[in-house]
Amino acid sequence: MKKWIYANRFELLLFALFMVIFNRIFFFSNSFYSSYVWPFNMVLLGIVSMGIFHDNKNWVNWLKNVLFVIIVLEPIFASEIFSNFTTALLGLFAYIAFYILIFIETLKQITKKKEVSESVVYGSLSGFLLLVLLSTFSFIFLQVIHPESLNNIHGNTIPEIYHQITYFSSITLSTIGYGDITPATDNARLLAAFWGIIGQFYMVTIVAIIISKFTARR
């Protein structure tokens, strides 16, 4: 079972990322989504993400295990954790730290592949969606510190504003910029610029890697 999970790690990760980012499309009740769907999605993504790691150094294993326990417990006890300013910031920091580890590990594995395969494509797309997730949590972190950082955000709890900021992060990383949600402070504007640059750099770099691997195989 463990071998199967590792062999299909990018497919599973991509599925879980699609769930946590896009399945709000199918739910029209904000309260139901925030209370049940969002916690389930976040726990599922945390569990699936652990399948990415394989034979890591001891300190990486220790760190990812500690962060994993935290991010799995957070959605379950979201009302208690996110109702307090300090614990909310610590919880968001744990999310950011954990998914930075996942992103780095994903990037390392797809760049080490010697040729283009379905695994590389799934891993590349997963990497971009991980950037969307990291961008989302960084904007939520900023919004918790300064609630007026983004215009046209509605809701009082993190699960309520999560899908709105996920949408904003996706639009920012893809540099579409509809303008319905906009950064309102210098901190938010610079953070948006940072993620816009990161998103474009990632896409250009990944396309170059895939083309070079495909060319090398031919």
pLDDT at 133 over 70: yes
Q: Of 26, 68, 62, whose CA–CA distance to 49 is shortest?
A: 68
- For the stretch 58-112, pLDDT in tens is 777 888 999 999 999 999 998 889 889 999 999 999 999 999 999 999 998 888 8
**CATH code for the domain in which residue 50 is found:** 1.10.287.70
Q: How many domains does the chain have?
A: 1
Question: Model's pTM, two decimal places?
Answer: 0.93
Domain that holds residue 93: 2-217
CB-based burial label for 98 (10 Å; 0-12, 13-18, 19+): buried
pLDDT the model gives residue 209: 79
Cα–Cα distances in Å, from 26 out to 30, 40, 43, 78, 166?
11, 15, 19, 22, 15
Question: Helix crossing, 186-217 with 158-173: angle to 10°?
Answer: 60
Q: What is the DSSP letter of 33?
A: I
pLDDT the model gives residue 158: 87
| Cα angle for residues 84, 31, 29 (degrees, 5° grid) | 155
The pLDDT > 90 percentage for the chain reads 61
Residue that wins the pLDDT comparison between 119 and 130: 130
